[in-house]
Amino acid sequence: MSTTSKYMLVAERLSRRIKSGDYHLHGVPAERRLATQVGVSYMTARKAIQQLLDNGLLYRMPNGRLAVRGNDDDGPAKKQVALLAPAWESNEANNWDINLTQLRTKLDFSSRIVHYVHWDDPVIADTIRQFDATLFLAPDSPSSDFTAELVKLGRPLIILNRDWSGFGLQSLRLFPPRMIQKLLDHMASLGHRNIDCFNVQHCGQVMREWIGHWLLWGSKHKIAGELINEPVMPFTETLVAAYNVISHRIRQGNLKSTAMLCLTETAAIGATRALLDHGIRPGHDIALCTTGSVRCEYLNPSLTTLEQPDPKPYLTTCLEWALHPEIHDWQGPLLIEPQDLKVMARESTVPDVAKSRAPQRMQLVATTDGNQVNRSAGPSLQLSNV
C-alpha cells in the first residue's frame, strides 16, 4: 500500500469520527497521539491531518491545537447534538436515541449519547458547552445551585421527561402526571371502587407528582385504595423488587384491592408475574394498568396504559430552536407536552368487576424428593361486588 493511499484512508477514518461527534467532548488529539491510536507513522498522521485542514473539517487554534470546525466557523461540519443520559441501561434513553437518530437526515445534524454517573459529574457541563445542542435526561431532584449553573451556561439545552421550566429551562415531557387520572377514570368506569397505587421507583419529583394525582383523584371521587410505596435503593433491579413486594403482600393476605395503578412498567411487569404465580389472574381477578410504554401492548397479558405519543414532532420543535436559535424563537411556555392522551385498554383491566372470580392463592408444598410444587390453596382474597 502506498504512503499516499494510506494517509487518505486515515483521513477518511478521522473524517467519520469528526462527523459522528467523537471529538466534540474531549477535543482532537495531537498528531502523535492520533498516529498511535490508528496505528500509523507520525508522518502519515500529519498528512491525514493536513488533508482535513485543507477540506475544512479541522482548523488549528492559535495555541497550535487542532479543533473541529463547526457551522458557526463557516465550515461544512454538521451541527452536533448530545443525548446526555445516566450511565446505566435505560429503555427511556434508548427510545429517545432511536427517535433522535430518525430525525438526523431531516434536520441535518449528527448525534451521540454521552453518559454521566451522578448529577455533579463534570461531564454534564462539558457536554452542554461543547455540543451545539443537548437533550438532557436529567436527575430527578435537582438542587437550585445545579439548575442555576445550567442556566448560566447559556447553551441550547432541552430537559427530557422532567418539568424544569420553573428553573428557567426548556423542557419536553411526553407523559404529564395529570394523565394518570384518565387511567383511574377508566378503571372506575368498570366498577372498581378500591384502586391501589404501586411504586418501587426512587421517589423523586416525578413519582411524587404521580402519587399526588392518585391521592387527589381518590379524594375527589371518594374511592378507596392503598399506597404501596416501597422504593428501592439506587442501582437496584426494580422488576425483582416489584415481584417480591406483591408476592409478600399476597402471602400475608394484605392485597385487598380490585384494581392497581402501577407507576412504572417494571412495577407492572413484576406485579403481574407475582399475581400469576399466586393464581391471581390480571384481567380476570384484578385490574392492572400502568403509565405508559411501547412494550405494554406486547406483554402477556397486555397492559392497559396511556397511549405512547410520537416524540418526533415535539423533538423537531425543540431541535429547530436549539440548532438555529437565531432563526427559530422558542414559542409559548418553556414546557412542551401533549395536551391529551388516550387510554389504551388491553387485557389487564377487568371488563366487568362484578363477574370476576375470586383469585386462587398457590401454596408451595414440599414433595418427598425435596422439590416444591404449586397447589391451589383456595381463595386468598375476595373481590368486592358493585
Mean pLDDT by 10 residues, the chain (386 residues): 72 81 76 85 88 85 77 57 88 90 90 88 90 90 86 94 93 94 94 94 86 94 93 84 96 92 94 95 93 83 92 94 86 92 90 48 38 35 28
- Distance of alpha carbon 288 from alpha carbon 225, whole angstroms: 13
Q: Is 341 exposed, middle or buried (0-12, 13-18, 19+ CB in 10 A)?
A: buried
Give the three cell numbers for residue 330: 422558542
pLDDT in tens, 196-207: 999 998 878 888
Closest CA to 273 of 230, 302, 243: 243
pLDDT in tens, 23-64: 776 778 888 888 888 888 888 888 888 888 888 888 888 877
Q: What is the largest CA-CA distance in the chain?
A: 85
- Distance of alpha carbon 303 from alpha carbon 291, whole angstroms: 10
What pTM was computed for the model?
Answer: 0.75
